[in-house]
Amino acid sequence: MSKELEKAKELVAMLEERERKNKVRLYEIPVGGKFDTGIGRFIVLEQEGDKTAVTTEGLYRKDVRFDDDSNEYFTSELSDLFEEEIFPEFKEEFDSDNLCSRQVSLATVDMQRKDLVLHAKVRPLTFDEARKYNDLLVNKDLPDWYWTCTAWSTEERGWGNSVAVVSPSGVIGCNDDCTCSGVRPFCILKSNIFVSKVTEE
């Protein structure tokens, strides 16, 4: 066996061992910890019993329009993007059974449309979640703000096209629905799955 082949095999063995050591149950990663997947790096936002709330560390999509004439998430282009493209990618990565659905309020920032609720396994953060997890969401390397699924207010109040967005530094503001912002998906996973823990250097 050539020395080059021996070195290659040693390198492969070393990488496999490192990968094995980094594999942990998701519940073992503390809040603020990170793990790698085939679709990107994720941050743990909350450990809640047998479930773990996570979001992507970076933007999963860039330059995405919310919609062209409405700030209501249910009928938006952004909702279609999640249902038709993003959810299938997450489903393939994690398996649908490991993605947990939870009901969240889609009341506007000024508490209009209080009856609107959303059930989804993969979605943008809500305004309330962007506040709750704000310190963990800061990533000044992001190239753009990113959408929440929360409308700023309503047409009746003169804000029918404004949606809450979050800046790389964590500031929450609003953008017009037809402008482009990034997408940073949120989901809740079963905590017993194995993931590749990121070891901060």
pLDDT tens digit sequence for 132-162? 999 999 999 999 999 999 999 999 999 999 9
CA distance 45 to 131: 12
Name the burial class of residue 156, with classes exposed (0-12), middle (13-18) and buried (19+) by CB atoms within 10 angstroms of its CB: exposed
Residue 39 has pLDDT above 70, yes or no: yes
Q: Which two three-digit tokens encode residue 97?
A: 């059974």
Q: What's the N-to-C CA distance of the chain in angstroms?
A: 35
Residue 13 has pLDDT above 60, yes or no: no
pLDDT tens digit sequence for 43-93? 999 999 999 999 999 999 999 999 999 999 999 999 999 999 999 999 999
Residue 21 has pLDDT above 70, yes or no: no
pLDDT score at 110 = 97
Give the DSSP per-residue string, 76-122. Answer: SHHHHHIIIIIHHHHHHHH-GGGEE-EEEE---TTS--TT-EEEESE
| Exposed e or buried b per residue across 105-126, where buried means at least 16 C-beta atoms within 10 angstroms of its C-beta | bbbbbeebbeebebebbbbbbb
Residue 120 has pLDDT above 60, yes or no: yes
pLDDT score at 2 = 72
Give whole-number Cα distances, 33 to 53, 91, 141, in Å. 12, 22, 17
pLDDT score at 1 = 59
Question: In the chain, pLDDT over 90 holds for what percent of residues?
Answer: 88
Q: What is the mean pLDDT of the chain?
A: 92
Question: Where does the pLDDT of residue 193 fall: very low under 50, low under 70, confident under 90, or very high at 90 and above?
Answer: very high
